[in-house]
Structures are given as C-alpha cells and as structure tokens.
Amino acid sequence: MSAGGTAAGADSLLKAYRDFSPTSASLAERAQQVFPGGDTRSSAHYMPYPLVISRAEGCRLTDVDGNELVDFMNNFTSLIHGHAHPGVVRAIQAQAPIGSAYAAPNLKQIELAELLVDRVPSIEQMRFTSSGTEGTLMALRCARAATGRQKVMKMEGGYHGSYEQAEVSLVPMPDKRGSVEAPLSQPVDASFPDSVLADTVICPYNEPVHAKALIDRHADELAAVIVEPVLGSMGMIAATTEFLETLREATHRHGIVLIFDEVITLRLDTGGAQSLHGITPDLTCMGKIIGGGLPIGAVGGRRDLMQLFSPEQENPVMHASTFSGNALTMAAGLAAMQAYGSDETKRLNRLGDRLRAGFNEAFLQSGIRGQAVGAGSLTNLHFTEGPLNNARDSMAGMIDAGRIARLLHIGMLRRGVMSASRLMYCVSTAMSESDVDLAIGALNETLRELRPIIEAERPALLLAAASA
C-alpha cells in the first residue's frame, strides 16, 4: 500500500471517530475558547479531542452523543467501585446536608484513618491531604526535615504528582537520558529551575545493582528515595521484590527515608503492594481509592517521622491545606474502603489476570507485536513483545508504535471501551467477567482494523511469522 493509501486509512479511522462523536467534537471547539488546548487536565486530553461525558453509573459511562462505554479508566484508577456506588452515594447524601468542610476534626476523619492504619503495615500515624500530589510533596518535606539533607532520589519514568521534583525524568527520551548506570535529571517541560534538577538523583527502575551503587554514591546528600511499586505512567511495569528489597536495605543502612508511593497500588492488596512484597517503607503515600471518588491524598508512616508534623512540636513541618480531611470526602472514602475488603481485592486481581490473558491472545491472533502487562487489577498495553523492566523499555515501545497507539485508543472508544490514552486499563468492583470479555473482543476487532495500516507504516510491529 502506498503512503497515500495508509494516510487515507488512518484518516478514515479519524473520520469514523468524528462520526461517532459529533456533539463531543462541537463541544471541543467550544472548550478551546475557555481552556488552553481545549481541556483543563493534561492527562485526560487526547487527540483529536476527548469524549465529553454526560453521566456515569457502575462501570458504564454515557457521552453527550448517547454512546455507552465500559469504563476501564475509572478516573485513572481512583474509582475502585466504579461510578455512583450506592454505599458511597448514601454516605455523601447523609453528610452533605450537615456540612462539607469544617476546618475542624470530624468523626469520619478519625474512622478512615483508623481503618488505613490498621490495614497498611508501614503506617503508625498519618495525615490526609487534598491530592496524591500533595501527599508525596509532604512526604519529601518530612524526609528533609528528618534527615537535614536536601536531595531526593526518584525512579526514571516515575510519576509522583504535579510539581517539579515529582516530574523530573518523567519521560526519559533516548537522546537526553544518559546511561542506565547514572541517568541524567531531565525536565519534563520548560518550567523547571536548574536547582530542582540538581537536587534530584535519578535511578533506573528494576536495576538493583545500579540502584545500590547510586544510593551509596549519594548517601550523604539523600533525604529520601521515593518509588512506585508499579511504574504507573510508564506502562504499569511492576517492581521486582529484589529491587524493592535493595532500596530498603540501602536506605536503612544510610539513614535515608524510603517512601513508597502507593497512590495507585494500594488497590492491589488490603495492605497495598508493600504487603505483597513483605517490605515496610518508612513513609507511604496514598490517594485515589481512599476518597470514594472525591479529591484526596494522604501520607503516613513511622510515628517518629509523622510526629514532625505535630503542631505541638517546636518547629513542625508546615502543612495547612484547606480541604484536607474535609467531612464530605471522609464520609465517601470511609464507605468506599469499608466496601473494599480482601475478597473484592482478590476478585479484581483475577479479573485483571483475565483481561491481560485475553489481550495477549488478541495480539497473538492478530499477528501484531504487543503485550499486556501489569499487576493485579492494573494493566497496560505495549506494542512490543520484549521484556518490559523499566521506563526505557516502555519508551522504546512507544517510539516504535508511533501513531498506532493513538489509533488503537480511539478504535477502542468507538467499540465502547474507555481507557487512558496511554492504553492503561483498570478494573473496578462494578465489573464482571462479561465486561472484561467485551474489552477483549473490542481489542480483537480494533487490531484487525489496524492491521493494514501497520503493514504499510510499521511493518516492524508484525510478528515474524505473520510478516513472512
């Protein structure tokens, strides 16, 4: 097929998407007038425009054109029970008439904290925040106050929220990232001051030998090492126990604060990923599922570290935060977490296993290089069949796929399956095996539709037997 033919094929898929969602297209033009780029949240935006949602219930969304979609994004993993869970709705309805935020303690705040302290091994005391971003930020400040050191180590490709240090080397481009033994600190955009880059040591994910060497080399300057047990934004790549154990041993030996960012991974077990690995960090950051669908974050950990926030200390770590621990979120979060016990955790993890197995079979049958990876109820698609251990492996797949990944995303939307545009999928308790099977069927159809474009534009994405 000629280049013009493949362009026409891709154009036809984009036209099909526009025909599928004309009202969203019109509203996207309207949004351009009030939002830069037409959206108010970078992570939720995708080309040519995002669907505009009018309502949601359970695991289903309805857009403004009346299309129904099974929601495998769940507001980027935060809606563990899907949308409008009856118990959460009742909790919000009961709380709203008696006040949403008091700037004072409330009973639900204490009860939700007690539940989390009881479940998560590392947490002896905790504080609520208004977002996961704020939770990781306060954890880093706590570590600096505790150690008197300035620098922080984070993982290459790791995401810990929307502030400069949390986003250093978020997207490790091949021509800028340096060697795997000592990755360079790279800004994600032009807003980064040089001081942030200088104070951030980058560590390759799932490389225990290099991690130990980097920690030993920078130990006298490091206040904290922060890590996601599953590398979220770079494709749901799970950490090995060996890697996390190496971080634990090295940080303990040097008096460095080890922080687990479990904002995403708390869903993997009632005690989070740390329970699955049997590793206890010094501080744990939480968010997403603990808020019942309302904005929330938290930081918790060792009592002596958390006491640095106490207003009764002589010079406490400052943490004000207008909406932290607000009564409405606490009521919703408590209801959500009470409804998410061990049995539901295990059921969701089985659904995640089923989804990945079905997706992998779909790639195999299509003759296209691709795989679904992840952990438990968290899954991501990659256009590669090689090992995926870190952000560099993930980036290689993204570069190889080019626009094919975007075309797959909108193809799945047209078939009633919502995911993150980076091809992240997560399941919720509102889902059943039939919902998972629907997504598997949609991927089979979408890959068949993309096959001619891949043959012409990206033949390297074809399996050897299929291209022979």
What are the catalytic residues?
159, 261, 288
Mention every residue, 6+ apart, whose C-beta is less than 8 A from residue 108. Answer: 95, 327, 330, 331, 333, 334
Angle subtended by helix axes 433-457 and 404-414, to nearest 10: 140
Distance between CA 390 and CA 428 in Å, rounded? Answer: 26
